[in-house]
Structure 1
Amino acid sequence: MAEVFVVPGPSGVAIRDRLRQLTAGDEEVLRLVGDHLGSLAARDLKTRCAAGLEHDSERWAERKRDLTCESSSRWAGAITKATHDQWSLARRCQLAHIQSLEAGVRTLTHRLSQPIGEQGTKRKPGGYRSEQEWFAKSRRLHVLSGRLEREQADRDAGRVHVVRGGKRLLNTRHNLDAARLTEADWRERWEAERWFLAADGESGKRYGNETIRVTPDGEVSIKLPVPLAYMANTKRGRYVLAAKVAFGHRGSEWADRTEANRAVAYRIHYDVERARWYLTASWQKPVVKTIPLEAARAHGMVGVDTNADHFAAYRLDPHGNPVSDPHRFFYDLSGTAGHRDAQVRHAITRLLHWAKRCGVSAIGIENLDFTTEKTREKHGRRKRFRQLISGMPTGKLRARLVSMAAEQGLAIVAVDPAYTSMWGVQHWRNPLTSTKRKMSSHDAASIAIGRRALGHPIRRRTTPPHDDRSDRRGHRTVQAEPDTRGREETRPRVPGSRTRSVHPDAERTRATRTPRTVRDVRSAQERVQDPLLPTDQER
């Protein structure tokens, strides 16, 4: 099992606002600047990919000098940095693809080595069902082995395959009818995605950015490249847009940075579908110091089980006991990316508000990572399951939850997801199900996640045999701390009545039932003795 840890807070902020009331001249300038800088970025990306692993600081400086004469030193710095980040991202994706191919080859090799019809276990899969399936998988093994060799050769040579504008949009060009686009519509989207209108911030400069400057009152101005300097409408080769921005979210924080001349990066983006221009402001912030794990557990925990269509949450006290009823926060991951993101943000907002009302300091969640769980070699014909885990935005969801929880003063505790669903159903589903409470497997898994985040075992205390219970009846499920002495011993004998109306230390002075036989009368007299009557010895 991986160790439980508190997830670090966010290290950056990004806010966006629409550029309204742009004139036709403003849009023409933005298109020309974006197209010119985009061509420079494409050329620089080609140079960076050709350098491969032999690239160093001298070649980086040479690339920047070549771009400066056609733009400016700051534009050239932003382009070279974005190009290097894109090349690094392609390298990481290449490594992930190689690891996925290696996992598929290992699985196929193992299953092909097993006899046909061999049953598998929980740890390792068995053989294939028929000779036809065995033959088809043997051919697929050769295909994956060839792909793996090519990808490994490209990685050793430092070659990456990058498409400015996106590979998905590039392939859409060959399927315009299926995408319901005309060639002109596709061309407009392709050009907009290849534009470059982004500038890094610089502390100490006016309003934190010399290339794309935004004043505290919302005025936006752009430093034009050298070939387009003739289009400037103000001094020093700058163009001031007619539109003004007003950031509603984190607007005060952004204004404090701009007034203090602290670095703020800006990016201008054109949404082709809506025909709107947007300005995105971003800046770095010190990583939020997370609270210690003991402090996060002090007031209990909210365990959250992430599913394809909802969050299943359950509140637990510091001792690991479920409190109240389960809660579910639904969302819909169908539709466009913007719709999915809005659904996730709305569900997370409701989850955080409920956690604040509960009075807890942290939320326990699984440290999910489906990078090794998507291969069809592992899951075989379970196509719907593969689509299910592929459609869950685990990385984006975790980043969004951490960022939004930090603003609410809540910590996120990540736990190992192993056996949470299995043990949750086994130990918590039936005991908590009643006529007024319906427990699902996801609700039980949220309890298991919360208990693991609190440091308690998921499994309930094992009930001893019937004859070894101290009260000789009932179901003993007392939850004791692991360090409690005598936690496995029998219950101590409490004298007196078990009712709430009589103190436990009070002696019983009357029989609980009427004796029916002589033997019962004698036993009752021996068990119940009036202290005012003389005993046999006194007589």
Structure 2
Amino acid sequence: MNEAKKPFRPLREPFVVQDATGVAIRDRLKDLTPQDEKVLRLVGAHLGSLAAADLALYSRAGFERTNDSWAARKQDLTARSSSRWAGAITKGTHDQYALARRSQFTHRDNLADGIRTLRHRLSLPIGEKGTKGKPGGYRSPAEWFHKSRRLHILEARLTTVQEDIATGRVHVVRGGKKLARNRHNLTAAGLTETVWRERWNAARWSLSADGESGKRFGNETIRVTPDGEASIKLPKPLQYLANSPRGRYVLSARVAFRHRGAEWADRIAHNRAVAYEIHYDVARGRWYLTASWKRPAVQAIGLEAARAGGLIGVDTNADHFAAYRLDAHGNPVGDPRRFTYDLTGSADHRDAQLRHALSRLLRWATRIGVSAIAVEDLDFSDGKTREKFGRNKRFRQLIHGIPTGKVKARLVNMAAEHGLALVAVDAAYTSKWGAEHWKTPLTSNKRAMTRHDAAGIAIGRRALGHPIRRRTKPPRHHQSDGGGHRNVQADRGTRGREGLRRTRNGTSPPRAAPGRAVTAGNQRVQHRSGHAAEHEAWHQDSLPLSL
């Protein structure tokens, strides 16, 4: 009987990822005087309180927001700061609200997925095994009881989120929810109350100003001249601290952008918009100035141009990148390469590890002369819910550990700087088919192949437009099995099928020994001469001679 199989979903076509248009560079503000730090702290605290109040007002308004209400908010902020500071604060409020709104919709979808999975598993008998793609019932009545309680909790949370979405209200913690929670358990966080308070205040400051095209040096609020002089337009309540005409305060530090410094200098020389942000790192006790601007959107190279010189297929995993070079015809070249990273520890450590691994990958790609890198267009938004895999915590941690979002953001920017195109492919079946068709043929006593290395080949071949499976042998000159079994055979249950299917690792099935049972696998069929069916003696009755 032919087994029912899950149909293959249609695959998305590969595409070249558009280069990022945003640019950000940073430099340290060195040799600041105590008066400079005092002014920066006062300005940051004053503008931060205005930004927090404006965000709260904007969130409580719900959908009752009009241009008149925005003008009233900006007019009130202008009276307590300046028109440009008010514009920067309101724009930051709108961006923060939009980000929180998107996160709210994502949280709603995650809750809905968890509730759907819980209802499915609770409806099954206890101990029933799951099928491929769907989990089974719970193991014991106690687990079933606890999950039923959790279902009520998630339904209550979903109701609250849906009410907030319907009214347009969002919940934002200025300074970060993690830092706010650390206040209730300072010992576990390794902080004292004084250190926590300093970090909390610094995280809630607001010292960012948007650029303005046509204005002097691209920004009138925070201005940096070509020779590195940085000055700030003080808010009206703090203009008594000015040390320069027109209510400005000039810092004693000199700014020198070494990375993309020529591009920054060209922008401010032509008075094009440049946004600035001043940030204080409490752990290091340092002040930093970040400059950012937007490049014009440039059309990425075509897919055929990216494929012309071959590419590198990269499989993203929880602790390493598995990369394999392929030529333009889809043939693997050389040996696999692995670029490891450690995503444990602090966020800065994880980010540094990821940047280091990507830098080594891109330097290798530049050295061997390929023009593109192929990666999977991964998305685990439907697989991160804890209800889907039950007690399988290690698998959930593995999925959470794969840095898909960070890889996308980092790799797009870093590949553009190296002149490499980024080709995104559908992630369906790459690991499975890669291991089935490429792991065993390329494994030797001098080359160790893993499932992830084979997946890199599959990703690269899909980006090049080739099928993942290897080319099969040409047909025999006759239909017998004189040259051995054919590689490609019909599926189970197909009429007219001859021979057994090839094993999963790609080897041919063993032939039956002479004298064994008649099977379709060893081709011992009754209509072939010389087979077991003809070994019996038989005689045709002779014709009577009298006829």
- Is the 8 Å Cα contact of residues 469 and 476 (structure 1) preserved in structure 2? no
Q: Tell me the distance in 2 between the aligned counterparts of 1:474 and 1:341.
A: 54
TM-score (norm 2): 0.84
Which residue of the other structure, out of 382, 395, 404, is the alignment partner of 1:394? Answer: 404
Aligned AA (1:396): K
The answer to whether the 8 Å contact 2:315/2:459 transfers is yes
1:4 aligned residue = 14
Contact 1:202 1:263 in 2 (8 A): yes
State the one-letter code of the partner of 2:367. R
Whether 2:171 is the aligned partner of 1:161: answer yes
Q: Is the 8 A contact 1:4 1:414 kept in 2?
A: yes
8 A contact 1:463–1:475 mirrored in 2: no
1:42-81 to 2 correspondences below 5 Å: 42-81=52-91
1:96 aligns with 2:85: no
- In structure 2, how many angstroms separate the alpha carbons of the residues matched to 1:318 and 1:474? 32
Match of 2:188 among 168, 172, 178: 178
Q: CA deviation at 1:348?
A: 1.1
Contact (CA 8 Å) 2:280, 2:288: kept in 1 or not?
A: yes
Could you tell me how far 1:467 is from its partner in structure 2? 9.2
Please show how residues 69-468 of structure 1 align to structure 2 within 5 Å: 69-462=79-472
Counterpart of 1:84 in 2: which secondary structure? helix
Structure 1, 209-218 or 392-401: larger mean CA deviation: 392-401
Letter in structure 2 aligned against 1:18: R
Distance 1:445 1:71, change over 3 A: same
| DSSP 3-state at the match of 1:354 | helix
CA drift of 1:298 comes to 1.3
Counterpart amino acid of 1:37?
L
Report the alpha carbon displacement of residue 273 of structure 1 after superposing the two structures with TM: 0.3
Number of aligned residue pairs: 478
Evaluate the alpha carbon distance shift between residue 98 and residue 311 of structure 1 in structure 2; reply closer, same or farther with a 3 A threshold: same
Matched position secondary structure for 2:289? strand
Q: For each residue in 1:466-498, what CA deviation from the matched residue of structure 2 results, as whole angstroms up to 9, or x when unmatched?
A: 9969995589889xxxxxxxxxxxxxxxxxxxx
Distance in 2 between the 1:467 and 1:83 partners?
75
* CA-atom RMSD in angstroms: 1.9
Q: Partners of 1:425 and 1:391 in 2: how far apart?
A: 22
Letter in 2 for 1:159: R
CA distance in structure 2 between the partners assigned to 1:326 and 1:474 by the alignment: 32
Same amino acid, percent of matched pairs: 70
Deviation at 1:131, TM superposition (A): 2.2
Q: Which moved more, 1:132-141 or 1:248-257?
A: 132-141
Q: 1:206-233: CA deviations, max 9, x gaps?
A: 1000000001111100000001111100
Per the alignment, in what secondary structure is the counterpart of residue 69 of structure 1? Answer: helix
- State the SS of the aligned residue for 1:326: strand
Pairwise CA distance, 1:267? 0.2
Query: Is the Cα contact below 8 Å between 1:296 and 1:411 reproduced in 2?
Result: yes
- After superposing the two structures, state which structure 1 stretch, 27-36 or 412-421, moved more: 412-421
Q: Structure 2 vs 1, CA of residues 265 and 144 (structure 1 numbering), >3 Å: closer, same or farther? A: same
Output the amino acid matched with 1:85: D
Give distance in 1, aligned partners of 2:311 and 2:482: 35
Instruction: Give me the whole-angstrom Cα distance separating, in 2, the residues matched to 1:477 and 1:303.
Output: 26
1:35 aligns with 2:45: yes
Secondary structure (helix, strand or coil) at the match of 1:83 reads helix
Q: Which runs of 5+ in 1 are unaligned?
A: 479-539
Kindly indicate whether the alpha-carbon contact (under 8 Å) linking 1:204 and 1:261 is maintained by their aligned counterparts in 2: yes
Distance between the aligned counterparts of 1:386 and 1:468, measured in 2? 53
Question: Which amino acid in structure 1 is aligned with residue 434 of structure 2?
Answer: G
Gaps of 5+ in 2: 1-10, 489-547
Alpha-carbon contact 1:78-1:199 (below 8 Å) kept = yes
> For residues 151 and 339 of structure 1, what CA distance do their matches in structure 2 show?
34
CA distance in 1, matches of 2:470, 2:130: 30
1:418 aligns to what SS in structure 2? Answer: coil
Q: Judging changes above 3 Å, is the alpha-carbon distance between structure 1 residues 476 and 444 closer, same or farther for their aligned structure 2 residues?
A: farther
Structure 2 distance, partners of 1:140, 1:13, is 45
Tell me how far 1:57 sits from its aligned partner: 2.0
State the one-letter code of the partner of 2:339.
F
Aligned residue in 2 for 1:510: none
- What corresponds to 1:533 in structure 2? none
1:135 is displaced (CA, Å) by 1.9
Contact 1:461 / 1:477 at 8 angstroms: preserved in 2?
Answer: no
Q: Aligned pair in 2 of structure 1 residues 300, 235: CA closer, same or farther (>3 Å)? A: same
